[in-house]
Amino acid sequence: MIPNEGDERVNVSIIRQAQNRDRLFLLYLLEEIETFVYRVAYYLLDDEDKASMASKETLIEIYRTIDLYNEKEDFAIWVQRKVTAVCIKKT
C-alpha cells in the first residue's frame, strides 16, 4: 500500500474495484498514487520535467495493467517497479 499525505494507505477494496474496471475507483486510485509516482520518478531521474513525463506515462501504464496486479504483492512495490521501468526508458 502507498502512504499518502495523511499516512493512510490505499484501501484494498479500492484496488479491487479498480481491477474490476470501475472507472470512478480507477480514477480515484490514480489520483491517490499520483504524488507517490512523481516522487519515485523524481528520485530516479533528478529532473522535474522528465519526472513529470515519466509519472504520466506510469499512470497510463497502471491504468492499462491494474488487472495484472496480484493482491499478494505489496502495491507500493508493484507501483515502484512500474515507475522504474518507465524511468529506465527515459535514461
Structural domains in the chain, CATH included, are 12-90 (1.10.1740.10)
pLDDT at 7: 42
DSSP state, 40?
Answer: H
Question: What pLDDT, on the 0 to 100 scale, is given for residue 91?
Answer: 81
* C-beta of residue 52 within 8 angstroms of C-beta of residue 38: yes
pLDDT for res 6: 44
Q: Which of 10, 66, 67, 65 is nearest to 35 (CA)?
A: 10
Enumerate residue ranges in the chain where pLDDT < 50. 1, 3-8
d(CA 8, CA 89): 31
